[in-house]
Amino acid sequence: MTQILLRDALYTPFAADTTAADIETAKVQMRTVLAAHTAAIGTAGQHSYHDAGHHYVCSTMMDSVFSAAAISTDDLLDNAVPHSFTHAYECACWGYCLRYHMQFKPSQRWVVISILDVNAMAMAYWTQNEQWGKSGFGITTLCFELVTTPDAVDHNDAVMASPASSVPMQTGMASGGNNIISFASMAKQATRDLQRQRLSLPFFPDSMSIPVRRSLKDLHVLTERHAHYGHAFGSDPWLAFICDQQQTDLGTAPLVFGSLALRGYYCFADVTPAQPVNTQHFPLVC
């Protein structure tokens, strides 16, 4: 099987009024943040950004006919590492990118994923919504090391299979009329399948968060921070880890990270924090 080691987790928040900037200014801001993130990769270890086989940039916001062509990774990154941009799976996109990399690029041990959700075009829809409450804007960059253990049988088959205790990634589509309740049920099942006790979830308002967390009361769920950050889309479970790790060392016991998209896509990843893991919370971009 393949073990997913989290080596670096970096987050930069963007102020809501940053959305007043024009798209060209926003591109400069985002490029500056991503440059700071990539430069910070490896500061707690012996690796660097240049070890990565690919850098996936994903977003929930840049997914409409009005915004999909507004930016490209060429606007945001240099060519030091091959890169691509996708928005197909909304908040769960990071999981699909990671699954894709594990399935089709198993020889590339290092992978970087950036979750980019900055309301660069000032779309009112993204600032607040009755389904997720207020929004939080920012960029998260993650660096993973993929370690294949000797007992792996067929890597490509294993990554796609779900569920099984030896599978580090689970993806799918929430069914039924209530995606949140379905997601909570799948989160519980994922932790059982993966034989884990720790879980990091999206930030939701109380109307959604309380029933979800009540149903997971037997698990250690990382801190809900919607009141402070709002719903920060795909960044939420990683931001929860960064904040909790910096307040109280979470150690190296594996965690299940999960995200849910508005359309029902979900992902769960079985991730082990490296020792040491590099977590950084950068200053607010105004």
Contacts made by residues 226-231, CB under 8 angstroms, sequence distance 24+: 226/133, 226/134, 229/13, 229/136, 229/138, 229/203, 230/133, 230/134, 230/135, 230/136, 230/203, 231/132, 231/133, 231/134, 231/135, 231/136, 231/202, 231/203, 231/204, 231/205
* pLDDT value at residue 155: 41
pTM above 0.85, yes or no: yes
Residue 156: its pLDDT value, please?
43
Quote the CA–CA distance of 104 and 91 in Å, as a whole number.
22
How would you write the pLDDT of the chain (286 residues) with one tens digit per residue?
Answer: 899 999 999 999 999 876 666 888 889 999 999 999 999 999 988 999 999 999 999 999 876 666 667 888 999 999 999 999 998 899 999 999 999 999 999 999 999 999 999 988 888 888 887 778 999 999 999 999 999 877 544 444 444 433 334 579 999 987 655 678 888 999 999 999 999 999 999 999 998 999 999 999 999 999 999 999 999 999 999 999 999 999 999 999 999 999 999 888 999 999 999 999 999 999 999 8
Domain boundaries in the chain? Answer: 2-148, 155-273
> What confidence score (pLDDT) does residue 19 get?
60
Which CATH fold topology does 2-148 show?
A: Peroxisomal Thiolase; Chain A, domain 1 (3.40.47)
CATH 1.10.10.10 fits 155-273, yes or no: no
Are 111 and 206 in contact, with CB atoms under 8 Å apart? no
Whole-number pLDDT of residue 240? 98
Q: Which residue from 42, 116, 38, 141 is spatially nearest to 81, judged by alpha carbons?
A: 38
> How many residues are present in the chain?
286
Token couple for 57: 């940039």
One fold for both 2-148 and 155-273?
Answer: yes
